[in-house]
Structure 1
Amino acid sequence: MTGAHQVHNTPIVQRFGISSFASPQPSEKESNQSGDDSGTSFGDNGTSINVDSTESSSDAAALMEYADLSIDDLVKLLAEKDNLLKLALKKLEEMREIYKSREAEWQELMERTRREAEKEKEYAIQDFAKSILDVADNLERACSVIEDRLKEIDGCKDTAGVVPLMQTLLEGVKMIDWDLEEVLSNWRIFKFDPLGEQFDPYKHHAVFEVYDDSKPPGTVAVVLKPGYEIRDRVLRPAEVGVVAAASNSNKADQALDSNKADQASGA
């Protein structure tokens, strides 16, 4: 052991002021001088202990504690103390690692909380954005209605000048619609039209099914309302009609034929 080796090679025993040889019993003269400042006292086994008169009483008491121990006992004691010190240092290192781990977890928690707070701040206008989408829908419907009415009017027979008036109205509504889209885009709100895309339950809301053999099943065939996204989230899914599967179409045809047959038999 390292502690034991150092005890034999270095004067550890001398640190305690213990000599390895037994001293003879003091003479009467020497006993009379024991009250002087010689600083020498004797243990029970005759081992001399040198204590300077300048040492404190606590140091002297500590030395006297080991006065009755032999060299082998002192070596064993130092070895035990060395082991206890190593265990304490190991425990201290474990506590240091635990502290580092807890500190890293705390830093990660703080960073995650900060990111979540920033994300919530980015999406704080979500409720407001949903409420204003109805305005956008109404403007889009107004543009569509005016365009359809313009197609029905014959410009050659327009004696009252309705066509120019409706064209001006259409331009004004379209300008409002464009301004609204620009405002929404400034807040990272974008419209998407999924016509012709494959149905996505996270982005589309299927309202009904249509039967169209020219398109694969699950294709968005009709868009009732466009969808909107805010940053990377779906603010409102698009309301769509989806192409039904071939099995569903066959079932519908069979049901229709069955109804016709029932009607014919009843007639």
Structure 2
Amino acid sequence: MSDTTRENSEIEQPAAAAPANDAARASANDTEPRTEEAPTPEEVAELKDRLLRTLADMENLRRRTQREIEDARKFAITGFARDLLEVADNLSRALASVPPEAREANEFVKNLVLGVEMTGRSLLNAFEKHQVRKVEPQKGDKFDHKLHQAMFEVPTNAQPPGTIAEVVQAGYVIADRLLRPALVGVAKAAPQADTAADEETTEPGVRVDTVA
């Protein structure tokens, strides 16, 4: 080997070792811990507000879903129950069409009436199991537009205006919702008679002097 070749090899050795030193320094830099900036109080407050809003929305959704499930369970038979109301009405009409004296005079009629009454009670018990209740107002009860439907007015002074004077048909509710209103007649004040003649009359034995 010539002297010139030996000198070139000695000069190139430091250059070959340079990349290894750079890699070592880069590796050392990677192992150093990196610090991140902490969130500001405004950012913390905003994140907290978002979390609270999300939790509130989830709770409202849960309550709304639960309420919808309960309503679906309560009112699922609304249509079916409404169709059965006509059956209950027909049973009541059948009982009302039989005079009391006919029940006592004929044993067959008496037993038939008992059977119809038992059927009606069984139907009402089935209604009760499914939260269907009968609304049957009494004469003199105050008219309630939430439960009653006024079909006509009855002029009378026997009871206060705005009270029920006659019941045409019973109503029904399912749970807390009106299924069918009760049909009623509502009392109103009777027209006052002409009081002109009353003003001219006097009590017996009292003399009234007129001025010419």
Question: Do the two structures share a fold, i.e. TM-score over 0.5?
Answer: yes
Q: Which amino acid aligns with 1:171?
A: L
Q: Which amino acid aligns with 2:163?
A: T
- SS for the counterpart of 1:250 is coil
Q: Which of 120, 125, 129 is 1:186 aligned to?
A: 129
TM (norm. structure 2) is 0.69
**Structure 2 stretches of 5 or more lacking a match?**
1-13, 15-22, 31-35, 195-212
Q: What's 2:26 paired with?
A: 56
Distance in 1 between the 2:130 and 2:61 partners? 29
TM (norm. structure 1) is 0.56
Distance in 2 between the 1:91 and 1:109 partners? 27
Q: Which of 223, 234, 248 is 2:178 aligned to?
A: 234
Deviations 1:142-193 (A, max 9, x none): 11111x2x33x597xxxxxx62221111111111111111111111111121
Q: Which of 145, 150, 164 is 1:220 aligned to?
A: 164
Distance in 1 between the 2:179 and 2:170 partners? 11
Q: What's 1:250 paired with?
A: 191
Offset, 1:111:
2.1
Taking the TM superposition and a 5 Å limit, the aligned residue runs for 1:29-108 are: 55-56=25-26, 59=29, 85=38, 87=40, 90-108=42-60
Q: Which amino acid aligns with 1:175?
A: M
- SS for the counterpart of 2:159 is coil
User: Could you say what the CA RMSD is over the residues aligned between the two structures, in angstroms?
Assistant: 3.0
* Structure 1 stretch displaced more, 93-102 or 169-178: 93-102
- SS for the counterpart of 1:131 is helix
Deviations 1:42-90 (A, max 9, x none): xxxxxxxxxxx96427949xxxxxxxxxxxxxxxxxxxxx9x7453x53
CA contact (8 A) 2:103 2:110 kept: no
Deviations 1:92-145 (A, max 9, x none): 441233123123212221221221222122111011111100100110111111
Distance in 2 between the 1:190 and 1:154 partners? 29
Distance in 1 between the 2:149 and 2:172 partners? 12
Offset, 1:250:
1.6
User: Post-superposition, which runs of at least 4 consecutive aligned residues in structure 1 deviate over 2 A?
Assistant: 53-60, 84-87
Distance in 2 between the 1:154 and 1:90 partners? 86
Distance in 2 between the 1:236 and 1:185 partners? 15
Higher relative contact order (CA 8 A, sep 6+): 2
Q: What's 1:44 paired with?
A: none
Q: Which of 52, 71, 76 is 1:119 aligned to?
A: 71
Aligned CA distance change for structure 1 residues 199 and 232 (closer, same or farther; 3 Å) = same
The structure having more radius of gyration, on CA atoms, is 1
Q: What's 1:78 paired with?
A: none
- SS for the counterpart of 2:106 is helix
